[in-house]
Amino acid sequence: MIEVEDLKLTYPGAATPAVRGMSFEIAEAEVFGVLGPNGAGKSTLQKILIGLLRGWRGRVEVLDRPLQDWKADDYRTIGVGSEMPNHDLRLTARENQQFFRSLHDGETQSVEEALALVGLEDEADKRVFAFSKGMKIRLNIARSLLHRPRVWFLDEPTAGLDPVNAVAIRVTRGGLPPRSAAGSRWARGGRWCPWYR
């Protein structure tokens, strides 16, 4: 599903590489985590894998295709949940999800299904400005699942969540739609290391 060989990236003007000779493989339906201190290159690696950074060297294949050959349509097969949720705070959770769902022209799951996966089904009609940080993160995760991605990238998926909801998000992987495969999850800090295999 994902193959990385001898991946390197040095930012312009930087004295040391942000990613230095990284190699790994992730099989379909495998959960894979990258752990390390701030500045270790975790977010840089994710940005490379989702096509946001260029200028890297090495071999990268996602869904059995070289990343440099990906076209706009290929990116519809991945879901990305960033660590900094960005929602329209004036809208309800349901309205936010409906908006993002409308951007996808392929098959999607219902807003209700996505909200239920992250335990927000009872909060669907509340305005997001009243949500806690953890609720906004869960809403962001729900959004990343709307289009039933084959590969799922999350940056710090449990940051800002209380222990109960962090466990719920960890279990969400088991409730993914059948067409989806959890490809990668990212975390800084080892609190939930057993989850990352």
pLDDT, tens digit, 9 for 90 and up, residues 145-188: 899 888 888 877 666 666 555 545 554 544 554 333 333 344 44
d(CA 26, CA 60): 12
What is the total count of domains within the chain? 1
Q: What residue numbers bound the domain in which 102 lies?
A: 2-195
151 close to 184: Cβ distance less than 8 angstroms = yes
Share of the chain above pLDDT 70, in %: 78
Quickly list DSSP for 21-62.
EEEEEE-TT---EE---TTSSHHHHHHHHTT-----EEEEEE
Task: Report angle CA 104, 185, 100 to the nearest 5 degrees.
Answer: 20
Could you tell me the pTM of the whole model?
Answer: 0.77
pLDDT, tens digit, 9 for 90 and up, residues 22-41: 999 988 878 788 888 888 88
Most confident range, picked from 92-96, 103-107, 112-116, 143-147: 92-96
What CATH number is attached to the domain comprising 128?
Answer: 3.40.50.300
Region 59-87: what's the mean pLDDT?
88
